[in-house]
Amino acid sequence: MSHEGEVSLAHISYGVWDGVVLDNRGKDAPDRVALSEFDSIDEFNPGNPIRAFFADRGFLVFDPEVSLIDALWRYLDKAAEQSCGKCTPCRMGTVLIRDALNQLRIGDAVQLDFDTIDTLAQQMAETSLCGLGRTCAGALLGALHHFRGALEAEADAGPAPRQYGMSYMTAPCIEACPSRINVPRYIDYIRDGKPEHSLGVILQKYPMAATCGRVCVRFCEIACHRSLVDQPVGIKTLKRYVADHQKGPNALNFTRDLIAHPLPDDMRVAVVGAGPSGISCAYHLLLHGYHVDILDAMGEAGGMAAIGIPSYRLPKDVVKSESEILISLGGHFLFNQALGRDYSIDDLFARGYKAVYLALGCQQGTQMGVKGEDPTLSGYETGIAFLLIVHDHIAGIKTTALSGDVVVVGGGNVAMDCVRSALRMGANSVHLIYRRTRADMPADKEEIEAAEAEGVIFHFLTNPSQVIAQDGRVVGVELVDMAQTDADAKGRRNVKPIPGTERVMTCTTLISAIGQQVQSGAITPVDGVAMNRWKCVDVDATSLATSRPGVFAGGDCATGPSTLIHAMAGGLRAARAIDDWLQLGEVRFAPRARMRQIVAEHKMLASCVNVPVKRIYRVHHPELDPEVRKSMFEEVEHNITKEEAYHEANRCMRCYRIYSVITDQPIPEGAV
Amino acid sequence: MDTLIAETAGTPVNVTIDGQPVIAYAEETILTCARRHKVNIPTLCEMHDIDHAPGTCRVCLAEIRTPGRDGLQMATTCNTPVCEGMEILTHTKRVRDMQRLQVELLLADHDQDCATCVRHGNCELQDIAHFVGLRTNRFFRPERIASRGIDDSSPALIRDMTKCIRCRRCVAICREGQAVDALVVTGSGQSAAVGLHYGTSQKDSTCITCGQCVLVCPTGALGERDETDLVLDMLYDPEIITVFQFAPAVRVGFGEEFGLPPGTNVEGQIISALRTLGADIVLDTNFAADVVIMEEATELLRRLGQGKKPTFTSCCPAWINFAERHYPDILPLLSSTKSPQQCLGKIAKTYLPERMGLDPARIRVVSIMPCIAKKDERVREQLGENGVREIDVVLTTREFARLLRRQGIDFAALPSSTFDNPYMTAYSGAGAIFGTTGGVMEAAVRTMYKVVTGEELAKIELDQLRGFEGVRSATVDVGNGIGVVKIAMCHGLKPTRELVEAVRAGTADFDFIEIMACPGGCVDGGGNLRSKKAYMPNAMKRRESLFAIDHVARVRQSHNNPQVQALYRDFLEQPYSEKAHHLLHTYYTDRHLDMVRTVKDIWQEITMSTMIY
């Protein structure tokens, strides 16, 4: 940012970052030292420049008029508020330092001098148990050791001027999670012996904890810093553990009195699609006090979680009980209602809904586009269509016997679900065809290993080139070997067919599990909702608003086929946007989202605490033997025991970090 | 959980401690290595005996230098692993300064009123303050402890969280040791403390008052309700006839307090001490243990005849609490025989005054027990009649020691004395071994055999019952229509929970099951003397002393105790008679806690997480 006639605030006045001291005070422009990676820190929200930024790795002051003492007090105040109190130095250090800084800030009699504050800060930084205590004195120590003069001058000058800003505490796992679940907190509650409270933390973000605890792709675990010691914490496993407290005699119940401010009867919202995104959005709208109807083309709730994920991974009753939370909160499901077939978006507004959330998902399988491919052939299915057959088979709606050899094409989780389901449906043999290498497969590693253990035969660097049919039936597929090309500029290697390697593999069923798209005909031009070039609903990235006012969209229909956790995160974001739009006519600025953006853009969380940590290995779900499980649809993975949960929870290192900004103006309130 | 620890007994690695090269083992902690090499590092929250190193106190610091990394780092030795080439410096000035500051910070939100604390002079926090040379106390403010309260709702266990240092030993012993899992961590920051599940009070919680947490607590945060003053009131009231009893285990676990070797049998000195205090009548709980065997063995045989099995023993009040709170469906399987403490109280207020020509209304019975749950038992509604309690005060072994000190009695210097009451003091070897795991069963088998066969069991020391595994089982062939009796003994509530689950699932086939809630039995009960930084250090010595008492006893079977024979002849008629049933048997009630909580309740309680609703 650059104000006319002013020095850009992106120019650092002074500060310390990763041990590097910058001091541009009193220097002319040519002599000023810059940290280029912080050039983009300018405004927090429009018209509100960032004057200073404080973090575990140091602090940067852009406006030399900023009161360091006040800013550090704000930072330590957050730390003291968030200190769990288990370890001595953080429990007492945060409070003692905060109180001392407060006295300095307001000009009260000083209890602790700077030397004592320094000693306490070092004690916290060097001897605290978790990431919070070890890092929350970082900025303070930088100031004490390199800008002690500035601090003393400020203290002598009397009370600090009024400042604005906010502090934000997060952790690598939280930032990695699309739903921003406070992972260390829910793990801590397990460690504390309060699984209900742990579940309560998760339920703040979405109602499908047991589902997520079974099928989440776990961005959190990829980010988990415990992996630098041994293995990431079993975050998903623990989520499933606590989610089981939603059943049984002491089950946590949802009651209507959770809705603090019920809205008038006409505040009705329609949610189109009862999948994870729709359920999540409806849940939050209900909690905001809206009257919500959830329409779905199917006869049951859950969307892809119910139909697309086989019961050996996610039992049907889990999805059912979680979708029933919406009924407890006053929501209504309207089943067998397909958008485009039974109603249009105009119809929804005509029925009195004030806003619409489109969460249709991607329910139509993509074809391979090879010679001889014909969706009407007997024995030919897309992945999603096959999983629907499996679903109907298990649900007792329509029995299907599978025999002979099955070929599945694709490398994602849907392909894995197809091969493992095909085994359970009675296939003679199941082959997976994937055009790249095993390492390139987008499916979860655990899924690939499980499929392999159950006897699926993998063919990598292989692609179908033609569908062979006889009398309207699939009898085989022509395959061709693929070769990896040289790495491109980004290091990615593509594949291309090797001519002359074509051969035919006989099969009775061929499943194309290479992708899905929005059901054609669901959204038509008369709906006034624009689609983008990927044939998904076009939405504003922040507000999820579509081109039609009052219509929002999220989940797979807006993002393309993605994960459960992304879909649920979209539902929450849409609910906030719909609430803002209906109450205020606009979607508000989200301060925490802006903090996350700053944290992400500057890779602030990359640092890790570097002390030796004792290796303790993670627990594993007890699971059924592959020979037994491959013929049945009962859940393969069982829950862990209470002892195992305590063990696993103890592995969390609580890599909390606090980030704090000082701004020119008060930061506007936005959705939490 | 074999997947949990991938590396055990690591390979040797070379490290130096304070410049001395020593051998360490990969993946062991610096503290473990230092202790093996006799290097002293002050610790507080850590407790080796229960494999507990939560890393919360942060006192056990050392400076380390690891290869490939510049400079020294401060590390907590209890949870930092060694590595090849590590230099460990345990006593640099920086280490000592930081340890001292850590303890000063610990005191900053710890109740400072040491003079009124029961742990004064016997406190691990005071010890560590000495070890680190603490001479200043700059940060304490009374308001820092205000948010943590004192829960004195229970008749037995008092939780004073103003003295909690968050070592979590109590949580660990309750969770992993006893598998009761009654405790939770509550609050945050300076409010952080330990509370009870569902936020209940101590009295209405899932805690069963075994008191194992008290044995591991480093400070005065956990302890029994002190009732020594009640006893002094009685002793100095001329209208009251004070009757004292002490449990089988007390005599072998009390001498340590006064410098005698662990396990010393101080029965004679306890009798002297009680007389010095001014006790009018000194009785022995061992006598009542023999009575319990008469009743329980008869009851068991009757139940076996009716095809009812298994029968659980009912001597242990923490076990009764556990069954009533956690497994009420098994209550019909519990023996109805009262515990020895209660039997003694009942007999001392009926038979004894009749024999001695005393006014029963003037009698007050004081028990000295190695147990906190006995205080719970004393006030059970069904163990009193017309407002008269069977027992009037229960003192733990710790309180008894306190009482003697308050009265200036130099226990170690007392001469040994003997019982002089001719009605309720004789005991058999069987009654004596009640205080250790397996003892009740062994005593019962001796009498059961006699009742069924009319003959004495030839080999009465049942080695197969004297192991120390959590659950032990054996069979005894008593013949005569009863045949082989399958028995099991279980000590500690973790194995108890497993056994009860197995009984409920129908996978454990036993006729008679002895349960003692505390690991080791009463000799390691929650009312025993505290051992700083150690858990059950004298278990085996106390146990051996009880077996030794039995070994040399003139009478070794409950039914051969002449005073027991007189009791039945002159008063109760016969075991399980109507009179005996009225006086010496009780019943149990379902006290299961069903906590139905809503998401709303939980959301209102969540802290330190951004809440949307």
Task: Determine if the peptide bond prior to A310 is cis (ω within 30°).
Answer: no
Strand, helix or coil for residue A23: strand
Which residues of chain B have a CB within 8 Å of the CB of A613?
79-81
Closest to A235 (Cα-Cα) out of A224, A247, A225: A224
Domain identity same for B63 and B113: no
By C-alpha distance, the chain A residue nearest B594 is: A250
Domain edge (last residue) among B64, B91, B118 = B91
Residue A7: Cβ-neighbour burial (10 angstroms; 0-12, 13-18, 19+):
middle
Which residues of chain A have a CB within 8 Å of the CB of B597?
196, 250, 252-253
**pLDDT, average across residues B391-414:** 97
CATH topology of domain A1-170+656-672: de novo design (two linked rop proteins) (1.20.1440)
Q: What is the pLDDT confidence band of residue B7, given thresholds at 50, 70 and 90?
A: very low
* Chain segment B423-442, per-residue pLDDT in tens: 999 999 999 999 999 999 99
Contacts of B210 by beta carbon, 8 Å cutoff, 6+ apart: B178, B180, B318, B322, B372, B373, B493, B517, B518, B525, B526
Alpha helices in B267-356 (DSSP H): 267-277, 285-305, 317-326, 340-348, 351-356
Q: What's the domain count of chain B?
A: 3
Shortest CB distance from A616 goes to which of B4, B64, B101?
B4
pLDDT at residue A647, as a whole number: 95
pLDDT at residue A609, as a whole number: 58
Contact call for A93 and B181, based on CB within 8 A:
no
| B170, HSE (Cβ side, Cα atoms, 13 Å) | 29
**CA terminus-to-terminus distance, chain A:** 27
Q: Tell me, what DSSP letter sits at residue A111?
A: S
Shortest CB distance from B4 goes to which of A91, A253, A619?
A619
**pLDDT, average across residues B530-559:** 95
Is residue B7 included in any domain, yes or no?
Answer: no
Domain identity same for B59 and B164: no
DSSP H or E run through A230: none
The domain locations on chain A are 1-170+656-672, 365-515
Contact call for A87 and B55, based on CB within 8 A:
yes
DSSP per-residue letters across A146-207:
H-HHHHHHHHHT-SPPP-EEEEEEE-HHHHHSTT---HHHHHHHHHTT-HHHHHHHHHTT-S
Q: Which residue range is the domain that position B282 belongs to? A: 228-584
Establish if B11 touches chain A: CB-CB under 8 angstroms.
Answer: no
Is residue B6 included in any domain, yes or no?
Answer: no
Domain edge (last residue) among B208, B224, B240 = B224
Is residue B286 included in any domain, yes or no?
Answer: yes
Contact criterion met (CB below 8 Å) for B420 and B457: no
Contacts of A446 by beta carbon, 8 Å cutoff, 6+ apart: none
Is residue B462 included in any domain, yes or no?
Answer: yes
Closest to B604 (Cα-Cα) out of A667, A260, A654, A297: A260
Q: What is the pLDDT confidence band of residue B460, given thresholds at 50, 70 and 90?
A: confident
Domain identity same for B187 and B199: yes
Say whether pLDDT at B443 is over 80.
Answer: yes
For an interface test with B, the pick among A82, A91, A326 (most B C-beta atoms closer than 10 Å) comes out as A91
> Within chain A, which residues score under 50 in pLDDT?
1-9
State the complex-level ipTM: 0.94
Q: At residue A37, what are phi and psi to the nearest 5 degrees?
A: -70, -10
**pLDDT, average across residues B194-205:** 94
Domain identity same for B385 and B360: yes
Structure tokens at B613: 């609703």
Q: At what angle do helices A195-203 and A183-191 cross, to 10 degrees?
A: 160
DSSP H or E run through B61: strand B61-65
pLDDT at residue A630, as a whole number: 82
Establish if B127 touches chain A: CB-CB under 8 angstroms.
Answer: no
By C-alpha distance, the chain A residue nearest B191 is: A85
Shortest CB distance from B80 goes to which of A81, A612, A619?
A612
pLDDT at residue B156, as a whole number: 97
Establish if B105 touches chain A: CB-CB under 8 angstroms.
Answer: yes
| Residue B243 distance to chain A (closest CA, Å) | 44
**Helix, strand, coil content of chain B in percent (nearest 5):** 40, 15, 45
Shortest CB distance from B609 goes to which of A182, A192, A614?
A182
Kindly report whether the global pTM for this prediction surpasses the value 0.80: yes
| Alpha carbons A350 and B318: distance in angstroms, whole number | 67
| Alpha carbons A615 and B28: distance in angstroms, whole number | 10
Say whether pLDDT at B518 is over 50.
Answer: yes
pLDDT at residue B434, as a whole number: 95
Superfamily of domain A365-515: FAD/NAD(P)-binding domain (3.50.50.60)
Shortest CB distance from B613 goes to which of A191, A260, A643?
A260
Structure tokens at A165: 């800003």
Domain identity same for B450 and B373: yes
Is residue B98 included in any domain, yes or no?
Answer: no
| Residue B316 distance to chain A (closest CA, Å) | 26
Q: How many CB pairs under 8 A join A and B?
A: 195
Is residue B612 included in any domain, yes or no?
Answer: no
Contact call for A92 and B108, based on CB within 8 A:
yes
Domain identity same for B74 and B119: no
CATH code at B457?
3.40.50.1780
Domain identity same for B76 and B111: no
Is residue B200 included in any domain, yes or no?
Answer: yes
Which residues of chain B have a CB within 8 Å of the CB of A250?
594-597
Domain identity same for B54 and B84: yes
pLDDT at residue A2, as a whole number: 37
Quickly tell me which residue has 């610091």 as its tokens. B61
Structure tokens at B273: 């001490």
> What rounded mean pLDDT belongs to chain B?
94
Contact criterion met (CB below 8 Å) for A651 and A235: no
pLDDT at residue A4, as a whole number: 39
Say whether pLDDT at B306 is over 70.
Answer: yes
CATH code at B207?
3.30.70.20
In one letter, which amino acid is A376? T
DSSP H or E run through A555: none
